[in-house]
Structure formats: structure tokens, C-alpha cells
């Protein structure tokens, strides 16, 4: 089994200290089974060489990718090279029906690639103040999310609602094609999406479960993803 983690250059530099890497190791994945990929791997990395892809957090998706100008230049920080690399890897992964997990930027990137849009800054784009920020340690819970789809992958992790952390200033505005919302925050924002069809596994969340992997419901997200990756590896032989 091989799993690709699409990360920022800064995250890759953390190496074994990456919380994403640690979360996968906590559910039985060895370091040798994980490749940390960045936009520098564009043209070399191929989704079909992997049994699963995890799209991680990082800079904002450029609003031009959903036909908007950057409205708040002091707040919106983009990485065009990473956008292009991840869009291509996502395209390849979907064609090969490879298990996909998205976290924070990951959920936003997936949504945009499939035709959706984002709020560029929650506190500026919405009529009320939204506090999707972390004031304590990244492992602390900041708010609740509510499950909307009992027949979903996320429903295997928790029922009803659970507490999550929150480290984002953007969020899904309009949902992309072929996706369904499976959880929302207590203030109404989309917090989780999944494939609306019979895709083997596509789950993306707005929070950071890798920072809360000691919590059973957050650990379950990684267990589900890895189980599907193992199934994909067995099919490949």
C-alpha cells in the first residue's frame, strides 16, 4: 500500500513531525508507505501509483479558479503552483477511482475543482461575525459540527454531532458537482463533503482531525481512509 500526502513545502520540511504523517502512523501506516508530495513533484507524481491521496491544509485556493478576483489582498494568500498540481492529481485520482481524503484547504480545493465556490473571508463575506479560529492549542475543540447524512462515511465516525477544532477563514459557498454536504457547523457553514455517487471513498472536512487523532471519532476518519486504501492496494495486487 502506498499513500500520497499532498502538502505545502513548509509542511514537507517538517518530515516525521508532520501531524498528518503522525495521524496515519497512529492507524497503522508505516513511514515507508507514505510519500509527501508538493508542487515540485508536478510532472513526476502520478495518482495511479498510489492507493490513496490525502490533500492537506495550506494557503488559499486562488479565487480566479472560481471566476472571482481576489477581494481581500491582505487576507487571501494563494499558491498557484500548488493549485495546478493538486487539480491535476485530483483529476487523475477521480479517473482511477482512488480513495481521497481532504482536510481544510483540501475540502476547498476539491469543491472548487468540481465547480464550486468559496467565501473568500468569512468575516467580510457574511453578515455576521464567524469565529472559525483557534484560540487554544490546535488539539482543542472550538465548536460542534452536525451530521446531515446518516448514510455517509462520516456517519461511521460519529452520530448526531461532535466537537472539532477550527483553523480557517474561508469555507464552501456553493457546492461543486457530484458532491453532497454531510456535516455543517453550528453557525450553518458546510464542514464536510462526500461524493454523491458510488465513488469508493471521497471524504473532505473543514477541520483538522490530524490534530485531534486521540479522539475516537477523529481517529475513525483516518481508519476509514486507510481501510479503503488497503482495499485499493489489494485490488491492484
Q: 3-236 architecture in CATH?
A: 3-Layer(aba) Sandwich (3.40)
Helices vs strands, H then E, count in the chain:
6, 11
Q: Which residues are catalytic?
A: 104, 208, 210
- Which pLDDT score, from 0 to 100, does residue 114 have? 98
Domain boundaries, the chain: 3-236
Q: ∠93-182-203 over CA atoms, to 5°? A: 20
What pLDDT digit, counting tens, does each position of 120-178 carry?
Answer: 999 999 976 777 888 889 999 999 999 999 999 999 999 999 999 999 999 999 999 99
The pTM assigned to this predicted structure is: 0.97
List residues bridging with 172 in a β-sheet.
118
Phi–psi pair at 173, nearest 5 degrees: -100, -65
Nearest to residue 20, comparing CAs of 52, 55, 59, 61? Answer: 55
C-alpha neighbours within 13 Å on the C-beta side of residue 85: 24
Residue 127: per-residue pLDDT: 78
The pLDDT value recorded for residue 17 is: 95
Amino acid at each position: 500500500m502506498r499513500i500520497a500526502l499532498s502538502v505545502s513545502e513548509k509542511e514537507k520540511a517538517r518530515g516525521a513531525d508532520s501531524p498528518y504523517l503522525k495521524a496515519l502512523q497512529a492507524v497503522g501506516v508505516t513511514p515507508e508507505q507514505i510519500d509527501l508530495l508538493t508542487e515540485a513533484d508536478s510532472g513526476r507524481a502520478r495518482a495511479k501509483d498510489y492507493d490513496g491521496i490525502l490533500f492537506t491544509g495550506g494557503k488559499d485556493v486562488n479565487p480566479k479558479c472560481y471566476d472571482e478576483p481576489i477581494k481581500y489582498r491582505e487576507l487571501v494568500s494563494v499558491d498557484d503552483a500548488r493549485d495546478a498540481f493538486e487539480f491535476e492529481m485530483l483529476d487523475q485520482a477521480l479517473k482511477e477511482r482512488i480513495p481521497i481524503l481532504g482536510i481544510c484547504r483540501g475540502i476547498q480545493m476539491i469543491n472548487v475543482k468540481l465547480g464550486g465556490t468559496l467565501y473568500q473571508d468569512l468575516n467580510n463575506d457574511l453578515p455576521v461575525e464567524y469565529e472559525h479560529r483557534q484560540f487554544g492549542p490546535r488539539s482543542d475543540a472550538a465548536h460542534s459540527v452536525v451530521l446531515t447524512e446518516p448514510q455517509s462515511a462520516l456517519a461511521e465516525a460519529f452520530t448526531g454531532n461532535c466537537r472539532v477544532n477550527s483553523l480557517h477563514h474561508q469555507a464552501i459557498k456553493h457546492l461543486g458537482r457530484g458532491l453532497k454536504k454531510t456535516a455543517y457547523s453550528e453557525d450553518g457553514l458546510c464542514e464536510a463533503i462526500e461524493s454523491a455517487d458510488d465513488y469508493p471513498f471521497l471524504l473532505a472536512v473543514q477541520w483538522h482531525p490530524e490534530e485531534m487523532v486521540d479522539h475516537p471519532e477523529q481517529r475513525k476518519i483516518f481508519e476509514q481512509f486507510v481501510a479503503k486504501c488497503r482495499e485499493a492496494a489489494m485490488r491492484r495486487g
